[in-house]
Amino acid sequence: KKLQRLEKKYQCTINDIALCVIAGALRKYLLALDELPEENLQTLMPIDIRREGEDGHMGNQVSVARISLHTTIDDPKARLQAISKLSSHHKSRTRQGDPHALLKLVDDIHPAIVLWLGQLLVSSGLIDKLPQMVNTVVTNVPGMRHDAYLAGAKLVDYLGFGPLAPNMGLFHTVSSTADHVNISFLTTGEFMGDGSAYRAALMESYAEVSLL
């Protein structure tokens, strides 16, 4: 209900609120380490472009947007409004363009070629020399519209996880049920230790955003 209130009050989406919480957590976590960049951190956000009635179609049906997390903004309200405005702009551009074109091209490339190229970039060290385009990934996994059961047991909660990649050591998944939303993250010990400090930052950031 808190999230629904924020949606209505600020004319935003659940995903915008989640991005604001994550941005606040990254800001707190990096400030504690005295490593917060002067520039805004960027996230890669997959966008589902599968049209209604296309659930049975094979192939990639996802576009991506590069979105600023506005981590230079301390005030949660101003940060949420900035993120909401920017994400709405990206969604509008996706609808106006033809996001399927590039994805159809990717579908036509043999998987072995894609795998070989990835292995070459990693083994040669070229991946580490490429400019850092984004700092993390945030993907939204919508909850089921109806109750789900397995052998009579009702699904009450679930968590999503996404893959890490070279130069990408932090992946967020926003998943939802009928009554609440989860923000889970996947990282490595080398990147964020045991993750407890970042988890605490997420909880503190959510507490601030929920009071808006």
pLDDT digits (tens, 9 = 90+) for 156-194: 888 877 888 777 789 999 988 777 889 999 999 988 999
pLDDT at 52 over 70: no
According to the model, what pLDDT value does residue 143 have?
74
Tell me which of 74 and 130 has the higher pLDDT.
74
Average pLDDT over residues 117-142: 64
pLDDT digits (tens, 9 = 90+) for 80-119: 999 988 776 555 554 445 444 444 444 554 555 545 555 5
The amino acid sitting at 143 is: G
Q: How far apart, in whole angstroms, are the C-alpha atoms of residue 157 and residue 112?
A: 36
User: Could you tell me which of 123, 122, 119 has the C-alpha nearest to residue 111?
Assistant: 119
Collapsing DSSP to helix, strand or coil, 26 comes out as helix
For strands 42-48 and 62-68, give the pairing: antiparallel
End-to-end Cα spacing for the chain: 13
Q: Which phi and psi (to 5°) does residue 7 adopt?
A: -55, -50
- Dihedral in degrees, nearest 10, Cα atoms 209, 142, 11, 5: -50
Q: How far apart, in whole angstroms, are the C-alpha atoms of residue 103 and residue 112?
A: 17
* Structure token digits, residue 59: 């192939």
Say what the pTM is.
0.77
Average pLDDT over residues 54-68: 61
Collapsing DSSP to helix, strand or coil, 185 comes out as strand
According to the model, what pLDDT value does residue 60 have?
45
pLDDT at 51 over 70: no
Q: In the chain, what percentage of residues exceed pLDDT 90?
A: 37
- pLDDT, the chain, mean: 78
Max Cα separation, the chain?
52
According to the model, what pLDDT value does residue 173 have?
92
- C-beta of residue 174 within 8 angstroms of C-beta of residue 14: yes
According to the model, what pLDDT value does residue 124 have?
54
pLDDT at 137 over 60: yes
According to the model, what pLDDT value does residue 142 have?
75
Residue recorded with tokens 């045991």:
194
- C-beta of residue 169 within 8 angstroms of C-beta of residue 128: no
For 34-125, strand residue ranges (E) read 42-48, 62-68
